[in-house]
Structure 1
């Protein structure tokens, strides 16, 4: 929300008790400043006319004019205005006109408590009470009991000012709360978008890449058996992509009860690697799969992450090294960690340059592994390219 005045000191949500500094203040809203300036201008005109008609002594007239100008100053610098008002009150008391002036101070207490800091407001109220008592005691225009009436008037005005101040404080608090909710909502939407994009890239992209690579293979080979294998691979990959899209739609609509959101954890790592071995082998590469004979016990989140990494690494091989003669998929584990490694030999022949190397896949793989406290490496090794992910088993 746009603030309607100059910067103010820090305060808490419980009024002005948290304001720092004697001269700290909260500016009046723009509309209130304009209204106050208009009222002061009218009062100055009326006071001038009355002073001429009643032939008020010049010193007293100057004090009254100064007081009105000080009230107008609340529109810009409330602490200065309050100080000038008190000073004019002292002068008016010395001139014998403290009675009416003390009532003016009491009425202005609402402006002080609404805009000025805690200690300045307290000091102002103390001086106002003292001037009212003195004015009544020495007979400066106040009847008996008039001082008490002035104190009551000042108390009422001050409470009204505090009420306005608390209202503005709640308004700022609600505004800040609404802004925070908007930010959180935007962050939640962005997180959901990132998750869907991650699913598209890590799951469906593999199947689509398989379709593209096998379709290209159909154009390059004449062997009926090879072409039949490519057709089956295209059908299987397209069917899997359609299944993944439907699953994602159920997930977005809130009808998928899969824990963890991705749903990849419903497929075991061993089954995924075997499927990748067959898919990569259908491109003509020699694929070696190394998986421990005994069943590996790992948490669902770790297995889900390894499945994503295996599919993404295989997709990268098909995109960027589709003529590679040799691929190795290996899983090793010990008592604490499990490691997945995907290696491919350099692609033979000239690349067609159609692969889009954005680096998004590697970044997302690294983010997934780091999130679970593991390590991730990708780069040239063993005269080829290696992707290695090591994760704690639990």
Structure 2
């Protein structure tokens, strides 16, 4: 700690020490006034003493200014009076300088004290035998006391900063947990509920038994999946040791190509003819990038079913380029559907954009001539 530059930065006195200093200076001024009243005269020594005490009091507000006031007054007192008492006061004040001032001020104070002590020892007889050693001892004790107070203040500053850091970390963890739960609610449960709502509405209008059976099966599977997700979330919130709910890509086995194919089947089941275009081999993206693309695809397909259920057609394509992998989801339908879908840029698209940005990707979405399109790009693993 003593080697740290921040430890030796100028600092203010602790509020308790400041109050104690003001009380002590007040007592000394009262005593000095009492001596003046008792003697019946006001000498230059009394003036120097009063200014010196006021200089010490200034450490409570402006330590740097106070240090130089003390040094100047003590120098004047020693040079013009040859008083050893001024040396003693200068030695004691070294403690306040050590607590509050920068190293160069402390060194200046020590050098001045040494020079004045040598001057008095040579030019005057006011110092008793061994007085030089006494001044040196008092100055050393004052300096060590000052450093001790600085250590206490520095430790308090460190503890306050550490507590603030811990509070920020806890807040960040809490926000991360809230975002994770919100993502699970939106990306998973809301996705399942959207399918349930769509097929429940379409069930009375299904033309044949096969279509009715398909809607009922989708409702049942989606309800079971939503129930499992809710149970996982409840366990997570009740017990922090419980593992987090599984990512939604587990519902779509394999990588982004398999997920896109499964999502296209959902659109087909919803009566929206969907074209799929995917590469024959791996897309060449990292597992994290593929996971984000899958989550983005889920969001895009859910928005089509939710906001544009009367779309004439849709398309999902995955394109691989030398440096990026691109996912494009588009639907075609009445202009009213496009405007409705345009109003869906809420939490889902915002979170999808955030996830892509975190891995160096980007997301663009907006209305087109005949519908709505979403384009997501991520860097390829080979880049």
When normalised by structure 2's length, the TM-score is 0.83
Aligned ranges for residues 1-394 of structure 1 at < 5 Å?
A: 13=5, 15-16=7-8, 19=9, 25-53=10-38, 58-221=43-206, 223-247=208-232, 253-256=240-243, 262=247, 264=249, 267-268=253-254, 269-293=256-280, 298-333=285-320, 337-347=324-334, 357-381=344-368, 383-394=370-381
For residues 174-195 of structure 1, give each alpha carbon's deviation from its aligned partner in whole angstroms, at most 9, with x where no partner exists.
Answer: 2222222322332232223223
Partner Cα separation in structure 2 for residue 102 and residue 165 of structure 1: 24
How far 1:313 sits from its partner (Å)?
1.1
Partner Cα separation in structure 2 for residue 265 and residue 228 of structure 1: 25
Partner Cα separation in structure 2 for residue 126 and residue 310 of structure 1: 74
How far 1:212 sits from its partner (Å)?
0.8
| More displaced 10-residue stretch of structure 1: 212-221 or 200-209 | 212-221
Segments of 5+ residues of structure 1 without an aligned counterpart are 1-10, 20-24
How far 1:322 sits from its partner (Å)?
0.6
Segments of 5+ residues of structure 2 without an aligned counterpart are none
How far 1:223 sits from its partner (Å)?
5.0
Partner Cα separation in structure 2 for residue 105 and residue 334 of structure 1: 77
The verdict on how the C-alpha distance between 1:93 and 1:282 changes in structure 2, with shifts beyond 3 A counting, is closer
Aligned length: 375
Partner Cα separation in structure 2 for residue 393 and residue 156 of structure 1: 67
Q: What SS does the corresponding residue of 2:200 show, helix, strand or coil? A: helix
Structure with a larger share of its residues in helix: 2
For residues 125-147 of structure 1, give each alpha carbon's deviation from its aligned partner in whole angstroms, at most 9, with x where no partner exists.
Answer: 22223323333444453211112
How far 1:56 sits from its partner (Å)?
7.1
